Structure 1
Amino acid sequence: MLDIKITKTAAPKAKPADENKLGFGKIFTDHMFVMDYTAGEGWHDPRIVPYAPFPMDPATVVFHYAQELFEGMKAYRTADDVVQLFRPECNAQRMQDSSDRMCVPQIPVEDFVQAVKALVELEKDWVPHIDGASLYIRPFVFATDVGLGVHASKHYTFCIICAPSGAYYAEGIDPVRIYVEDEYVRAAPGLTGFTKCGGNYAASIKAGELAEEKGFAQVLWLDGVEKKYVEEVGSMNIMFKIDGKIYTAACTGTVLPGVTRRSCIELLKDWGYEVVEGPLAIADVMEAGHAGKLEEVFGTGTAAVISPVKELDWKGDKVFINGGEIGPVTQKLYDTMTGIQWGRIPDSKGWTVPVCKG
């Protein structure tokens, strides 16, 4: 168990006056969790300190060789004023898996969860009160050796910051248009597609901007070898309901193993749906769309939870899904997931972890 030292800020910030105007990732709480790693000593000096910049040498290796990774999760305030997390151990395990690939020392799952809980409890007053809003939590690790040369660092910093964030669908769920990217690739076998590292996101920006210029909300990535099979969307995993079955790409090294994805698959199986995790050709998706068999398409991720898709565009060929409306399975998943997260329905799965009373 970590012995976390807490230093409270002497100048607390004013809380947002209007929780309907929080946005995402723009406002940060008073404190952050920090822990250091030194080769031969391990992780040490866990502490919560006032939120502040890091002083960093220009030759710090993370700037030059991108040895870093992160996670994304949320804290929710229930109607009973309990602040709770959603499956934090899954994020901790995923960070361990990312760390192994990026040659970053792993943080024990129990230490990761303890650190998140300690910071959220201290910052509980920052957890929004309005429906749909939450406290976004960003744990991240970066290499801190100073010097140029491509090799694993011997020093690292683990940090957690928090940002109160507004409801993703402040004006109701709006199905989105997706552009199928057939030039650029996000990941390829043997690379870092399954990790949550910044380089994956940096590589996706170009295609995302081009798609946005054409009026699309997201990019659907195809596999990096044949550019034939669907993988994931820019910030989400994606699922297709075709002729009654649910299809989604398997997490075999090029797809991020999303916590929301994993949870949705469990729910879908509980409800009796056959979930097929494996290769799905974009040509087959489009053919199903034109044949009227593509019944629903939706993204899954921490930010949006469930994001319905109303249109796919691949090389100028377009298919429209469910008349542009959210489908019944998509709606049920959204209602169930958010119901569990915000405590509106019983958590029969044991997914929520209470932190404290608000």
Structure 2
Amino acid sequence: MTNIPVTPAGRKSMVPPADQLGFGKIFTDHMFVMDYETGKGWHSPQIVPYDQFSLYPAAMVLHYGQAIFEGMKAFKTEDNRIVVFRPQEYLNRFNRSAEILCIPRMDVAVLHQGLKQLLEIEKQWVPGKLGTSLYIRPFVIATDPYVGVKLSDAYKLFIILSPVGAYYAAGFNPVSIKVEDKYIRAVPGGLGEAKTPANYAASLRAQQEAKKEGFAQVLWLDAVERKYIEEVGTMNIFFKINGEIITPALNGSILGGITRKTVLETARHWGMKATERKISVEEVFAAHDQGQLEEVFGSGTAAVISPVGELSWKGRKITINNNQTGETSQKLFDYVTGLQYGKVADKHGWVEEMARL
């Protein structure tokens, strides 16, 4: 594949110190863009300066929400390689979201090439401190200027980059989660398994109320029976009961997390029993009462592993593992982050080098 055209930015911004990064507030000098038109397909991939862009007030994304996004990370290893964790998996999931939102499929090879070139240009932006990374945000929006419900005839794709600080600013500590039994987020056959803005907008009300009550996250239940566990607002969820790792099976309303998949594959590789099945909130609380609930943890791109120390449901709060990070949670976190930063040998082919300093 030939190189994608590049328009250099007029000036280079200063890369902030690692302790001033935060999350999602600072962006690199360049971005990847590509357009789609009905009859022409995806065309004109290019790398241009990061900047504002024009959009008609009638653009369909603003009225009917046809949009998708992804999130992955680039890391700097000790030997100055810039690597991305399981990029093909993320790009393939991007296309799965596109199918659900009726957005034309993208050529993953073109996206991969564009990302690789973009990272080569912006490699100095990848912070080197342990816990930091360069967040990668691909997204697509419907740009057809038309007020009426139909499939858009025009789309725009972007990949933007943002250097981010350590997710655990206060350390790798367990969080407190509220089991949500009032609001629902998604149903099988809907948008729940897609990374689309509507899913996150639907979660805001419950999340806001939970935070006012002192909880870090919301744990969603199924929308029909309101008893089967699905996922946390920004993570998949795992329970370790009697030595077995259990996570809700993908049912059409749960996002198929790449870190979720990594946890399952890693646990099985270690000889642990890792099961995907329906699990009710009653079962989890009963396991706690019987002394069998050993650990609870979330998994996701941003946090990798997030130990859960407390679960609250219908006014009853239980404490897991004395509100301490569990052995399995810690082991998984150390292993996956070790792969990402090049401290652990990659025997799975999950880490891809994109650039070198």
Matched residue of 1:349: which SS? coil
Contact 1:2 1:46 in 2 (8 A): no
Contact 1:3 1:46 in 2 (8 A): no
Letter in 2 for 1:322: N
Letter in 1 for 2:31: M
Q: Give the Å deviation of 1:252.
A: 2.0
Deviation track 1:169-194 (CA, whole Å, cap 9, x = no partner) reads: 23420110000000111110110100
Letter in 1 for 2:158: C
Aligned partners of 1:120, 1:286: CA distance in 2, in Å? Answer: 46
Contact 1:310 1:323 in 2 (8 A): yes
Deviation track 1:177-229 (CA, whole Å, cap 9, x = no partner) reads: 00000011111011010000000000000000000000000000001111110
Match of residue 4 from structure 1 = 4
Q: Give the Å deviation of 1:291.
A: 1.7
Match of residue 138 from structure 1 = 137
Aligned partners of 1:240, 1:78: CA distance in 2, in Å? Answer: 31
Aligned partners of 1:146, 1:355: CA distance in 2, in Å? Answer: 37
Deviation track 1:61-88 (CA, whole Å, cap 9, x = no partner) reads: 0000000000000000000010000001
Deviation track 1:1-26 (CA, whole Å, cap 9, x = no partner) reads: 3651101111221111x211210000
Deviation track 1:100-126 (CA, whole Å, cap 9, x = no partner) reads: 110001112222222211111110000
Aligned length: 357
Letter in 1 for 2:10: A
Matched residue of 1:116: which SS? helix
Deviation track 1:244-295 (CA, whole Å, cap 9, x = no partner) reads: 1111111121100000000110000011111111110001101111221110
Match of residue 341 from structure 2 = 342
Match of residue 13 from structure 1 = 13
Aligned partners of 1:183, 1:4: CA distance in 2, in Å? Answer: 49
After TM superposition, the structure 1 stretch with the greater mean CA deviation from structure 2, 113-122 or 53-62, is 113-122
Letter in 1 for 2:165: G
Match of residue 308 from structure 2 = 309
Aligned partners of 2:259, 2:111: CA distance in 1, in Å? Answer: 19
Matched residue of 2:57: which SS? coil
Match of residue 78 from structure 2 = 79
Unaligned 5+ runs, structure 1: none
Contact 1:85 1:352 in 2 (8 A): yes
Match of residue 298 from structure 1 = 297
TM superposition score normalised by structure 2 = 0.99
Match of residue 146 from structure 2 = 147
TM superposition score normalised by structure 1 = 0.98
Identity across aligned pairs (percent)? 50
Aligned partners of 1:339, 1:31: CA distance in 2, in Å? Answer: 29
Provide the aligned C-alpha RMSD in A: 0.9
